[in-house]
Structure 1
Amino acid sequence: MGCAGVVGLTACGGGDDSSAPAQGTLQVSMTDAPACGFDNVYVTVSKIRVNGNPDADESGSGWVDIPVTPARRIDLLSLTNGVLATLGKAALPAGEYQQIRLVLAPTAGQPYANAVVQTGGDGAEIALSTPSAAQSGYKIIRPFTVAPDTLTDLVLDFDACRSIVARGNGGFNLKPVVTAIPMVVSGKIQGYAPAGSYVYAERGGVVVKGTVATSAGAFTLSPVEQSSTAGDVDVVVVPPAQASVGVGIIRSVPVTAGTSTTVSTQARPILPPASAWATVSGTVTPLSAEATLRALQATGGATFEIASTFASPATGAYSMSLPVAGPAVGTYQTTLPIPLTQDMTAAGRYTVEAASAAGAVQSAQVDLGAGPATRDFAF
């Protein structure tokens, strides 16, 4: 009896030494979190690659390619609220895989392979400047298993909002923020909130999935990974500033693979309290810090991300508009509606966290109850 090593993985067939290694099928799809300030975000995917070695570089051994033929140009903003775009499917050796690479086509010619259309602009596509990794493959470390004679669904969650950085000259850089989630361990969360709200599933104040509520207020957070170690998620609703309402939070929402959890209905949506909005802004130096900024709010002994942005690579400037009223918070229960109680002690109080590309983190407190605030960071 024998076991053949294939592309750096261990895959065993039945029978004798001459038996073929076990095969499975991997299907890869893509979905998106909400984008900030764009009507369209286009990326063109040419190939997906997987490897059993998390440290393999793009020219190393052990890669199995899933071709996307022809290369597929996708508007990421059409993939919110659980909508998936299938990229490709291929048979490959069964076993444990560790690394995925998302390979994008180069931005060249028109229509641009990778481009954005700004909200409120003239409708013209603006080319996205892509890093070299886009062509060699954007690296995602996420262990997953391909079982013999089984179709494995893997979803690449491309966060457009966190992936686009303004250059300051009217152009934009693509800095991909992508996670990989096996559907077999994922569930969904559904509900209603004010139309146009950003809705996040968070664990420990870190966004694990986001979407934007439709014009009817419906939202679906999917896929959200079930986790025996990280536990439930918190659902954070942040309506647009023009809605003149604040933040709604539902704590401890369970995620069960293959099922849907409902947190609100169209008749009784999540309705945050009325709120004015104020802006926190500043500058991050040096420009080489390439900082990401988050606005965090503490309530009920936990911390939640309310907004995030990038510092401009041209000027280092950043700005975030935030609700001044205290958040309305409730804990999940199967009986709807879930009651929310406003936390007045948290009104206008935020921690602004700046993280450099090198991993250094700084934070500063602001109280927007007194009006707009300025906080600068120097790395």
Structure 2
Amino acid sequence: MRNKNKKLWSLLLAAGLAAGLSACGGGSGGVEVGPSAQPMGTLRAALTDAPSCGYETVHVTVQKLRVHGSATAGENDSGWSELVLNPARRVDLLSLSNGVLEELGQMPLPAGRYNQLRLVLAENGGAGLPANAVTPTGGASVALDTPSGQQSGIKLNAQIDVEAGKVADVVLDFDACKSVVRRGNSGRYNLKPVITVLPRLSDAGARVIGYVDASLANSGTRVSVQQGGVPIKATWPDANGRFVLYPLPAGSYELVLAAGGRATAVMTGVPVVATTPTEVNSTALPITLPSSSERDVTGTLNPATATLRALQTLGTTTVEVAWAPVLADSGAYALRLPIAAPLKLAYVANPVALNFQPEATAAGKYRLEAASNGVLKTADIDVNAAVPPIDFSF
């Protein structure tokens, strides 16, 4: 009798346990021992550069790239994924022109949208070469102060969709010209990173290719593609006069060419597609820029962290002609702008001639645009005559 009661209690206990597990397990009738596997994709990242301003080299040392789904996530919040470079990689940004990319690597990620990237740079210190340094033209290498990159990383807002079973390609366009800030006459430089996150959609197209005259085949010539006065990608021509702007999202662009002592040239309606490159001209038909006298424009920005650029309007098209370096200690800036009329030409596939036409009404006329923390201030100027110093305060 005692054995029968023990057997009965065993059966009742087993039945109750099974019922409880069934209630916890869901509709399948099984027991969930953990979350189901998430669909996975891959993020691949590379580094490239826009033109520099008076530097022979600009080195940065990349330790890792961090990504998060939230644009507002803090550095210590959970949910970060990391691509760690081991060893950390020291890169001369100025070697990454004309479509050259420095591959940083790739990492698996759960499928979804990622809205924040952080590029973490190594700290300067110890023996040997500084991790981050700049060499001014004709000068010696100087360590770059990079406080933001040493601690939490350089924060980059982006919208990157990682699809299951696919590779999401991004390129970090590190603008060395805008990122290196001179600290007055101290001989020191700050690194104030200006980085744009660009999608890399195709290795076949997504680029603009062209040629400039041999007299412009140097790092003093700036070539950019813009939309609505905003540069999307910039470079300088190589020793053969060839320039490549890559990667570029599909769309229509203004091609802008500027150089010291030359008039600015603008080619409108330049198409970019993913399947084939857009060649605006050939080596037999290079773009040249006529000589132009120039005028200096100076002033100060308060705070010194503000930025300043010069825009010019040709008919219905507005482009950025120049961007002003700002001294970190005083906020002083200086621009040198051409007086001659800018040139304009509509894009034509396979051209047999390049008949840029001067926009006489735009000669010497610019709009200065200062920006600080999302606030814009402007001033219209005419460099056909001397321009008094123009200050902006926020």
TM-score, normalized by length of structure 1?
A: 0.88
Contact 2:199–2:248 (CA under 8 A) maintained in structure 1: no
Contact 1:30–1:85 (CA under 8 A) maintained in structure 2: yes
Q: Quick check: 1:188 aligned with 2:212?
A: no
Structure 1 gap ranges (5+): 1-16
Mapped to 1, the partners of 2:275 and 2:174 lie a distance apart of: 21
Structure 2 gap ranges (5+): 1-33
Change (3 A) 1:349 1:126: same
Residue by residue, what CA displacement relative to the aligned partner does 1:130-156 show, whole Å, maximum 9, x if unpaired?
133443121111111222222322111
Mapped to 1, the partners of 2:117 and 2:62 lie a distance apart of: 13
Residue by residue, what CA displacement relative to the aligned partner does 1:148-193 show, whole Å, maximum 9, x if unpaired?
2223221111111111111111111111111112212771001012
Q: Quick check: 1:155 aligned with 2:177?
A: no
Residue 370 of structure 1, CA deviation: 2.1
> Secondary structure of the residue that 2:348 maps to in structure 1?
coil
Q: Quick check: 1:211 aligned with 2:227?
A: no
Mapped to 1, the partners of 2:227 and 2:150 lie a distance apart of: 29
Change (3 A) 1:373 1:271: farther
Alignment counterpart, residue 252 of structure 2, candidates 212, 229, 232: 232
Partner of 2:64: 47
Aligned residues: 352
* TM-align CA RMSD: 1.9
Contact 1:25–1:150 (CA under 8 A) maintained in structure 2: yes
Alignment counterpart, residue 80 of structure 2, candidates 60, 63, 86: 63
Aligned residue type for 2:255: V
Partner of 2:284: 267
Partner of 2:8: none
Aligned residue type for 1:116: V
Mapped to 1, the partners of 2:350 and 2:321 lie a distance apart of: 26
Mapped to 1, the partners of 2:169 and 2:146 lie a distance apart of: 27
Mapped to 2, the partners of 1:265 and 1:247 lie a distance apart of: 20
Contact 1:188–1:224 (CA under 8 A) maintained in structure 2: yes
The structure number with the bigger radius of gyration is 2
Partner of 2:322: 307
Contact 2:280–2:350 (CA under 8 A) maintained in structure 1: no
Contact 2:66–2:117 (CA under 8 A) maintained in structure 1: yes
Aligned residue type for 1:113: A
Partner of 1:8: none
Change (3 A) 1:298 1:338: same
Aligned residue type for 1:333: V
Q: Quick check: 1:280 aligned with 2:297?
A: yes
Identical columns (%): 44
Contact 1:328–1:341 (CA under 8 A) maintained in structure 2: yes
Partner of 2:31: none
Q: 1:94-109, aligned counterparts within 5 Å?
A: 94-109=111-126
Aligned residue type for 2:256: V
Contact 1:184–1:258 (CA under 8 A) maintained in structure 2: no
> Secondary structure of the residue that 2:207 maps to in structure 1?
strand
Residue 378 of structure 1, CA deviation: 3.0
Contact 1:331–1:338 (CA under 8 A) maintained in structure 2: no
Partner of 2:244: 220
Alignment counterpart, residue 173 of structure 1, candidates 181, 185, 190: 190
Residue 338 of structure 1, CA deviation: 4.0
Aligned residue type for 1:297: Q
The worse-fitting range, judged by mean Cα deviation, of 84-93 and 130-139 is 130-139
Residue 120 of structure 1, CA deviation: 2.0
> Secondary structure of the residue that 2:248 maps to in structure 1?
strand
Alignment counterpart, residue 339 of structure 1, candidates 336, 355, 372: 355
Q: Quick check: 1:323 aligned with 2:338?
A: yes
> Secondary structure of the residue that 1:223 maps to in structure 2?
coil
Q: Quick check: 1:127 aligned with 2:143?
A: yes
> Secondary structure of the residue that 1:77 maps to in structure 2?
helix
The worse-fitting range, judged by mean Cα deviation, of 146-155 and 136-145 is 146-155
Residue by residue, what CA displacement relative to the aligned partner does 1:109-146 show, whole Å, maximum 9, x if unpaired?
3411111000122xx21111113344312111111122
The worse-fitting range, judged by mean Cα deviation, of 361-370 and 198-207 is 361-370
Higher-strand-fraction structure: 1
Aligned residue type for 2:147: P
Partner of 2:134: 116
Mapped to 2, the partners of 1:355 and 1:182 lie a distance apart of: 26
Alignment counterpart, residue 376 of structure 2, candidates 352, 361, 374: 361
Contact 2:222–2:234 (CA under 8 A) maintained in structure 1: yes
Residue by residue, what CA displacement relative to the aligned partner does 1:218-239 show, whole Å, maximum 9, x if unpaired?
100111122xxxx411010002
> Secondary structure of the residue that 2:245 maps to in structure 1?
strand
Mapped to 1, the partners of 2:112 and 2:125 lie a distance apart of: 37
Residue 202 of structure 1, CA deviation: 0.7
Change (3 A) 1:215 1:137: same
